[in-house]
Amino acid sequence: MNGFEQEYYRYTSLDLHKLGGIDKQYSSPCYVYSKNTISESYKKLKNSLPDKFRIFYAQKSNPNPEILQHIRKLGAGCDTASFGEMKSALRAGFTPENIMLTGPSKSEEEIRFAVENNLLSVNVESVQELELTDKISFESGKVQGILVRVNPPYDSSETTRIIGGTGVSKFGIDIEQIYEFFSYLKSKKNVSLKGIHIFNSSQILDENRIFSNTKNVIDTAIELSQKYSFSIKKIDLGGGFGIPYSSEETQLDIESLGNKLNSLTESKEYKSFLEDVTLIYEPGRYLSGRAGIYLVKVLYTKTSRGQKILLTDGGIHHMLRPALIGQSHPAINLTALFEGRNNAENYMVAGPLCTSLDTFGENIGLAESKPGDIIAFMNAGAYGYTESMPMFLSHPAAKEIFID
């Protein structure tokens, strides 16, 4: 196994041999997905967590219908954040009691759909949303289960701002203002508060930070339940489970996290409180990220002021994330790998769009590349195609292919 093949398997377990010949069959930019890799990630997480934890897949990371159906069959619930995502979850076979509606700016139509379809929870993020949810539930003759999303003074220290961490946030209700929520809640007869929701960090690779944040969220739930005299049945702990995007980053130690969580939930301090509580994580990237690669073809090579450049047929209209948050995805020249070419070069890899933003990175290490080579961008299964801007410049849509 040469260095480039080792680099490939650092980021995915998708069998390289299954991609054999794909460079010869290539016709246009595409995403390639592996259900087996999703299963591997799900089972590793599920088997590591204590039994009282449930997994709700964050659909926003990749809403492909086949992926949704596969994750539903594995046993996960579904976290949704729009009218379209709720409908997609139901079409994929998720039952209403396994779907939550989250998001900071829900429309009346979205809340009404959630209530009328008996979704497990509407996670309320403001006093105004509480009032609207109660009104809609009254009109529907129902009592809707809700969680209140709290904006706490702690987080897991994001390296790149995605959710936002502490400070000013469009998400949830500042804990300093939570008294107002409970004051209004007293008069609401058509909602039933089941617990709290705190999601304050993303792309965390340190299990100690996730553990510390989880403990802080549980402590907040205990504090609020005692102060405002309500029973906690569910605690939505958010997501934040990261995957490495470079050789400088390490895999999240899920087994170690599971051991720490087991000790926490079985401790005298927490066991009694958590006895009838369901703890929920909302992983997205951790389940789908490693399961996808994005393929492009090198059309031209050039040099500009000493920088070697590969110009490809695919760009940020299909995979915006490198430009959006300034983080390159790991990349492999598949053609060079299959042909045994080992000489390495650093390249700017750029797409066909008429904007200088259309680059995947300016110093990407690849095997020496030439026109016709197929480049694979790894970790493209999460926040890939649907987070991008496929209508820009009217290029063709990217295909989505399942290899297993």
Reported as a single tens digit per residue, the pLDDT across 240-297 is 999 999 888 999 999 999 999 999 999 999 999 999 999 999 999 999 999 999 999 9
pLDDT given at position 222: 97
Contact 146, 122 (CB under 8 A): yes
Q: Is the pTM of this model over 0.85?
A: yes
Residue type, 216: N
Length of the chain: 404
Per-residue tokens: 160: 């790149």
Report residue 155's pLDDT band, with 50, 70 and 90 as the boundaries. low
pLDDT at residue 36 greater than cutoff 80:
yes
Per-residue tokens: 88: 């997609």
Contact 42, 74 (CB under 8 A): yes
Closest listed residue to residue 375, CA positions, set 314, 334, 321, 315: 334
Domain 103-281 bears CATH identifier 3.40.50.12780: no
Contact 365, 342 (CB under 8 A): no
| Spans of all domains in the chain | 3-33+290-402, 103-281
The angle that helices 254-266 and 207-228 make with each other, rounded to 10 degrees, is 30
Nearest 5°: the CA angle 287, 293, 297 is 170
Contact 318, 391 (CB under 8 A): no
Question: What is the widest separation between alpha-carbon atoms in the chain?
Answer: 71
Closest listed residue to residue 189, CA positions, set 246, 228, 138: 138
pLDDT at residue 37 greater than cutoff 60:
yes
Average pLDDT over residues 35-44: 97
Measured CA distances, 403 to 48, 313, 345 (Å): 27, 22, 29
CATH number for 3-33+290-402: choose from 3.90.1150.10, 2.40.37.10, 1.10.10.10, 3.40.50.2300.
2.40.37.10
Per-residue tokens: 350: 């750029």
| Sequence-separated (6 or more) residues with CB below 8 Å from residue 24 | none
| Sequence-separated (6 or more) residues with CB below 8 Å from residue 215 | 264
